[in-house]
């Protein structure tokens, strides 16, 4: 009974949101959070009312990437208010509710499930055009819980790096989405080549192109390649919105092309 009530509450909140897009990866460290953040920023700059929800319990990195660490979230009875980054972008991270960055590492399954459910149920987004969800990496219990609790996610963007190990992980990710009837909106190849700023020569540090051929062989859309750019690391570490600050860079342009392929 209680579960039905909670599920109805989630449904009610989600009904006010246009499209709900999960950002997934087969494993950690491929740039999933970076992609989620920059996707949300791009949409907000394009005038879309956007929410960014970070439920990566083990490593909520959105507060750091957006320089929101230590932010307190507002509360109302039965609701948590997200942080407003700009007029079009609201942000909620599980990191805002953890008292120390290491808190959730020791949590067991049921507590994590409860936290995820509370988030979906209680965060008051208001009306949104898009909700971008930075999901935990992999194909385990947590992304599964999110997909099942959301019920109506529009689909997933799967982030990968070009080399073979990440690609076999991403194949597993795609199979995971399919088994849950979650459409794969596209594969994004991150850390794809490095262009030397001094001599202009391109070096494919983690190889390149694997994501595209894999996407073709699995019959899912390919959203593009984001090159390695040290300014991404710098922007992430100092909490600046990369696609906004470095609009002219190759990587930022690749991001905007990917966003266009994703949402039109």
Strands 202-203 and 128-134: unpaired
Residue among 49 and 227 whose Cβ is closer to ligand ADP: 227
- Tell which residue, 129, 147, 131, has the closest CA to residue 139: 147
Of 236, 243, 252, 262, which one interacts with ligand ADP (CB under 6 A)?
236
Q: Which of residues 100-159 bind ligand ADP (CB under 6 A)?
A: 137
Question: Does residue 228 interact with ligand ADP by CB under 6 A?
Answer: yes
Task: Please give the Cα distance from 8 to 121 (Å, whole number).
Answer: 9
Buried b (16+ CB within 10 A) or exposed e, 55-65: bbbebbbbbbb
User: Exactly one of 120, 185, 229, 241 binds ligand ADP (CB under 6 A); which one?
Assistant: 229
Q: Is 51 annotated as a binding residue?
A: no
Q: Does 190 bind ligand ADP (CB under 6 A)?
A: yes
| Six-digit token string for 44 | 């907000």
Q: Which region, judged by CB under 6 A, interacts with ligand ADP, from 21-29, 77-85, 173-181, 255-263?
A: 21-29
Residue found by looking up tokens 């859309």 in the block: 221
- Out of 17, 30, 147, 177, point to the residue binding ligand ADP (CB under 6 A): 30
Question: What is the C-alpha separation between 225 and 55, in angstroms, rounded?
Answer: 25
Q: How far apart are CB 76 and ligand ADP at their closest, in Å?
A: 30
Binding site residue list for ATP: 26-33
């Amino acid at each position: 009974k209680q579960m039905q009530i909670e599920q109805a509450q989630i449904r009610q909140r989600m009904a006010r949101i246009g499209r709900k897009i999960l950002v997934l990866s087969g494993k950690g460290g491929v740039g999933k959070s970076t992609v989620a953040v920059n996707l949300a920023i791009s949409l907000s700059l394009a005038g879309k009312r956007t929410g960014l929800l970070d439920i990566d319990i083990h490593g909520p990195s959105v507060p750091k990437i957006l320089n929101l660490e230590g932010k307190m979230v507002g509360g109302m009875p039965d609701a948590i208010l997200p942080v407003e980054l700009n007029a079009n972008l609201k942000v909620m991270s599980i990191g805002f509710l953890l008292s120390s960055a290491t808190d959730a590492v020791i949590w067991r399954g049921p507590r994590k499930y409860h936290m995820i459910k509370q988030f979906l149920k209680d965060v008051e987004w208001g009306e949104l055009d898009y909700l971008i969800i930075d999901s935990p990496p992999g194909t385990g219990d947590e992304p599964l819980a999110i997909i099942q609790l959301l019920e109506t996610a529009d689909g997933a963007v799967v982030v990968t790096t070009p080399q073979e190990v990440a690609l076999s992980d991403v194949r597993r990710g795609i199979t995971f989405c399919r088994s849950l009837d979650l459409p794969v909106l596209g594969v994004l190849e991150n850390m794809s080549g490095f262009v030397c700023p001094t001599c202009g020569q391109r070096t494919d540090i983690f190889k390149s192109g694997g994501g595209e051929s894999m996407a073709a062989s699995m019959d899912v859309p390919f959203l593009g390649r984001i090159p390695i750019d040290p300014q991404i690391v710098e922007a992430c570490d100092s909490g600046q919105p990369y696609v906004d600050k470095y609009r002219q860079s190759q990587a930022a342009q690749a991001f905007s092309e990917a966003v266009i392929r994703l949402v039109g």
